[in-house]
């Protein structure tokens, strides 16, 4: 540690850095005195997410695909930290780009690992609660192997991340790469895309527009929400540790989708009704992380109350021009 910088890293690479979560990571690293290269092909990310960073010293945006075999040449580094966050993460995106999703979990992860190995950097893979599938164990701890349908409609995302975890583990064992894995549960906050198929932005935009909030099934399925500031804090704590084990980072506020819709209606002051639509295939019934490891290893726990997090997210969308609302059957806000 040097000066006021809480981390020892000098320069970081964030793949998928123009995405929702990646852009927050870039910003936090810059605020902490770390130079950042943000690599993104904008398949899901947006330039506006990093617009406020473009003129800051130490920030560089590199347009490119981490699956490109020549990406290492375009990202010469050297880096102390490689955060691999490139991947379609919303249902709308990974169902629209199934092969690209599988590629970024395999080819993209391998290329990012090669860069980390080249520079002797700490590597961290952004994995997901989706590796647990529709869990038979609740809450989900890191030792649970999951209940995943490998050929279902969600499998391109689930299996991409499961393969990426196996690849990181094999790379670390074979080459001694300083690599870790963080499994993220349902992060939300400003910079999410309005209609990407995830529940929080979908419900908020519907409520602000006075449209019915489309809840899938009977709304009894649960998720555990974590505000983006808390998630970023957890990610960087895992990165700063030397943990080689997967670590869950997620919220303790387990809530049904019907209750989440009601919270959004109340906080927006909307008169929107709740409409129930068909539930997607293989939609997990319950989702809540066991974060004992993160608490004991890293001293991490979520700090932002759900009401404050939702208010900040609502304010973000309320300040933006409304976007066209897709048909309810195309939205499937289950994640």
**What is the mean pLDDT, run by run of 10 residues, along the chain of 335 residues?**
62 98 98 98 96 97 95 94 95 92 97 98 97 96 96 93 98 96 97 92 96 96 97 98 95 95 98 95 94 97 97 97 57 44
Residues 84 and 109: their CA atoms lie apart, in Å, by 7
Radius of gyration of the chain (CA): 19
Round to whole Å and give the CA distance between 195 and 162: 26
Told to judge if 157 belongs to the known catalytic residues of this protein, a careful annotator would answer: yes
Residue ranges, comma separated, of all CATH 3.90.25.10 domains in the chain are 188-224+252-289+304-331
Per CATH, the number for 11-187+228-249 is 3.40.50.720
**Where are the domain boundaries for CATH 3.40.50.720 in the chain?**
11-187+228-249
Return the CATH number of the domain spanning residue range 188-224+252-289+304-331: 3.90.25.10
CB under 8 Å to 4, separation ≥6 — which residues?
33
Q: Which of 61, 94, 157, 188 is catalytic?
A: 157
Which residues fall within 8 angstroms of residue 21, CB to CB, at 6 or more apart?
85, 89, 126, 184, 187, 228, 231, 232
Q: For residue 56, which phi and psi values (nearest 5 degrees)?
A: -80, 140
- Are 112 and 262 within 8 A, CB to CB? no
CA 47 and chain centroid, separation: 17
- Residue 157 near residue 94, CB atoms below 8 Å: yes
Peptide bond into 53 cis (omega under 30): no
């Amino acid at each position: 540690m040097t000066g006021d910088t809480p981390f020892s890293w000098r320069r970081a690479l964030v793949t998928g850095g123009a995405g929702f979560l990646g852009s927050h990571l870039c910003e936090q690293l810059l605020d902490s005195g770390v130079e950042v290269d943000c690599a993104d092909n904008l398949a899901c990310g947006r330039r506006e997410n990093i617009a406020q960073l473009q003129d800051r010293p130490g920030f560089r945006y590199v347009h490119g695909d981490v699956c490109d075999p020549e990406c290492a040449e375009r990202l010469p580094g050297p880096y102390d930290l490689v955060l691999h966050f490139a991947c379609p993460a919303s249902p709308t995106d990974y169902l629209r780009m199934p092969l690209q999703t599988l590629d970024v979990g395999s080819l993209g992860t391998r290329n990012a690992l090669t860069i980390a190995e080249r520079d002797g950097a700490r590597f961290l893979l952004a994995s997901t609660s989706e590796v647990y599938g529709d869990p038979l164990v609740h809450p989900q701890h890191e030792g649970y192997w999951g209940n995943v349908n490998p050929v279902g409609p969600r499998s391109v995302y689930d299996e991409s991340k499961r393969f990426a975890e196996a690849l990181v583990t094999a790379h670390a064992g074979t080459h001694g790469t300083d690599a870790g894995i963080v499994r993220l549960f349902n992060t939300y906050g400003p910079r999410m895309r309005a209609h990407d198929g995830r529940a929080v932005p979908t419900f908020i935009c519907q409520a602000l527009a006075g449209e019915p909030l489309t809840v899938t099934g009977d709304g009894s399925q649960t998720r555990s929400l974590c505000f983006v500031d808390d998630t970023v804090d957890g990610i960087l704590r895992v990165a700063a540790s030397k943990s080689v084990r997967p670590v869950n980072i997620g919220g303790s506020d387990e809530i049904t989708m019907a209750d989440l819709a009601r919270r959004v209606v109340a906080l927006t002051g909307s008169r929107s009704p709740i409409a129930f639509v068909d539930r997607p295939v293989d939609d997990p019934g319950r989702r809540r992380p066991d974060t004992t490891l993160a608490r004991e290893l890293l001293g991490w726990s979520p700090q932002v109350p759900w009401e404050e997090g939702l208010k900040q997210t609502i304010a973000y969308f309320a300040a933006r021009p409304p976007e066209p609302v897709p048909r309810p059957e195309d939205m499937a806000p289950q994640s």
